[in-house]
């Protein structure tokens, strides 16, 4: 029962952090949406604007985006609560190993979102807004654009966690660096398949996600080598 109570308290703190950040940001909901819409607005033709096809969309679209922004910003605190729950059951050497991985997971998650916003979205949106015929008037719906953006943010944020996942798998003994190297051709195919499910249904978005995933896979292999070597040396000392 004590573990269940501790889990409940950790979950309540995590939810409270999301709520507090949301309340702090909700006043700036329209400004946040304007910031996220900047890559699209920069690629729209002159005098073209976004539209709302639903009466409630002008309120709920910024509201929904602010809620997800609060979730993204609370991600470090949520991981801290997860760490606080599992840390008492770990040995001291395990804590020293896992704490840098926890910090790296936060950095990589935000790096994925930043990579998506500053590099991927301008390329993707510039391609789609410029490929249509001249007789077509581009007026994106604010709710559809929000769904498109959130899917991309989530996909890139999760995809950038690949090095952390590889390091954990190698450290736990579930696999080895050499075994992953042998499966590299399957990883290439799997990266494109995963990108197909995580991104909107277009080849450009899928490719722009799959290529960084493969690069991060290679980075994970490199780090896992050092990680495994350090772990082995620690076991020898012990």
Count how many domains the chain has.
Answer: 1
Do 81 and 10 touch, CB atoms closer than 8 A?
yes
How many other C-beta atoms lie within 10 A of the C-beta of residue 50? 18
The length of the chain, given as a count of residues: 238
Q: What would the two tokens of residue 153 be? A: 């943010």
Show the domain range for 224.
2-237
Do 224 and 173 touch, CB atoms closer than 8 A?
no
The pLDDT profile of the chain, 238 residues, written as one tens digit per residue, is 777 888 888 899 999 999 999 999 999 999 999 999 999 888 887 777 888 888 888 889 999 999 999 999 998 898 888 888 887 777 787 777 788 888 888 899 999 999 999 988 888 888 877 776 666 777 889 999 999 899 889 888 988 888 888 888 887 777 788 888 888 888 889 888 888 887 777 787 788 888 888 898 888 888 777 666 444 444 433 4
């Amino acid at each position: 029962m004590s573990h269940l109570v501790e889990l409940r308290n950790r979950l309540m703190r995590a939810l409270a952090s999301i709520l507090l950040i949301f309340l702090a940001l909700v006043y700036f909901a329209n400004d946040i949406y304007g910031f996220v819409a900047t890559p699209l607005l920069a690629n729209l033709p002159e005098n073209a604007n976004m539209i709302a096809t639903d009466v409630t969309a002008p309120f709920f679209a910024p509201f929904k985006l602010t809620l997800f922004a609060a979730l993204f910003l609370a991600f470090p605190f949520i991981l801290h609560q997860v760490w606080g729950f599992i840390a008492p059951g770990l040995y001291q050497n395990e804590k020293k190993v896992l704490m840098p991985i926890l910090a790296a997971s936060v950095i990589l998650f935000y790096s994925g979102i930043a990579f998506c916003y500053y590099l991927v979205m301008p390329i993707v949106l510039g391609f789609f807004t410029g490929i249509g015929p001249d007789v077509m008037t581009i007026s994106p719906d604010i709710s559809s654009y929000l769904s498109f953006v959130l899917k991309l943010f989530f996909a890139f944020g999760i995809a950038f966690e690949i090095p952390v996942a590889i390091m954990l798998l190698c450290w736990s003994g579930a696999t080895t660096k050499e075994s992953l190297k042998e499966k590299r051709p399957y990883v290439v195919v799997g990266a494109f398949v995963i990108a197909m499910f995580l991104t909107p249904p277009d080849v450009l978005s899928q490719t722009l996600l799959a290529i960084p995933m493969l690069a991060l896979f290679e980075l994970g292999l490199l780090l896992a080598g050092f990680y495994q070597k350090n772990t082995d040396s620690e076991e020898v000392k012990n």
